[in-house]
Structures are given as C-alpha cells and as structure tokens.
Amino acid sequence: MLRILAAALALGLTPAIAQAQDWTVDTEASTVGFETTAFGGPVSGQFAAWTAAITLDPADLTGASISASVVTGTGSTGSGEIDDPMLGADGLAPAAHPLALFESSDIRPTDTGYEAHGVLTIREASQPVILPFTLAITDGHAIADARLTIARSDYGVGAPGWGSTAANVTLVLHIEADAAE
C-alpha cells in the first residue's frame, strides 16, 4: 500500500514536461530586408522569398530554435544599378548560391529582449553571429524585430569595383507569427 501511495505521489508531483511553442510565420506581414550605402547614399531593399521555422517559449528557452532560409535571387532595392551587381557573380551569386541560411538553437534572454546565437551562411561561407531581437507576444500573436550588421567580406560578397559600396550591410527583420496549435 505504501508503494502504491508513493508511486501515486511521485506521479502527481512530477511536473509536466514543458513543450516548446511552435510559431507559424505570417510572411505577408513580415519582411526580411537590408540597409547599406552605395554610390554615396543610403540603400535599402528586401528579399521577396524566404521561410522560417521558429520554436520559442519565452518562459522556457531550452527547446528554442530558429531556422531560416532566404532565396538570394529575390533581393531587390528597386534600382538595377544596385541590384545587378548585388545579384551578379561577385554579389550574392544566386545561380551558384541560391539560399542564405540562419540556424540557431541557442536563444538567450537579455535586458532588452533576446539573442539568437547561431550561424549565418551566405555564398557557402558560414560565420557565427548573435542576432539581437525584441519580442512582444499578445493573445498568441508574436512580433519580433531585429537588426544585425555583417561585413560583406566575411561572406565573399563584393569586388574591387565596389569601392563606393559600404563594407557592412545591416539585415533588418520584422517577423510576425501566430502560435501554432
């Protein structure tokens, strides 16, 4: 009888296993963009095609992960003078490198939001990065915003003729998602 009582208490006192929350990204409300300078002025653009798989529970980050891919050939600033070299052989080279990837399974809280510690791969060059982001969740709807500045040369993007183009590019992310059921 004592064993049955002990087993019942153990089962009753065992905490439920926390399950990480999956999110369904609203690609219509979200943007994956970039900012830099070229020809002496500011330049901004977006990528039209991308996907992201996000698992994140702010109360328990142990199972959190972000996996995203961007179709490099869909990048556009609206200016052929900038887009042609950006999508050319010395730029993102989408014919040879159709996807840019970000992978993280290490999400940490900060004083102002979160950091996703992961690996960014562009043109088959992989670099560790820390992606800081803010996150607001209301009634199962999440809004995250992030900015990450990277050096083009770390990913083999650019050529000597790109002299007036900034050495750095800032990735600008606005992601809206709904809690998956």
In this predicted structure, the answer to whether residue 9 has a pLDDT above a threshold of 50 is no
| Res. 15 pLDDT band, cuts 50 70 90 | very low
What average pLDDT does this structure show over 95-106? 98
Locate 24 and state its tokens: 């369904």
Beta-bridge partners for 151 = 168
The one-letter amino acid code at 121 reads T
- The average confidence (pLDDT) of the chain is 90
pLDDT (tens digit per residue) in 26-57? 999 999 999 999 988 999 999 999 999 999 99
Locate 103 and state its tokens: 């992978």
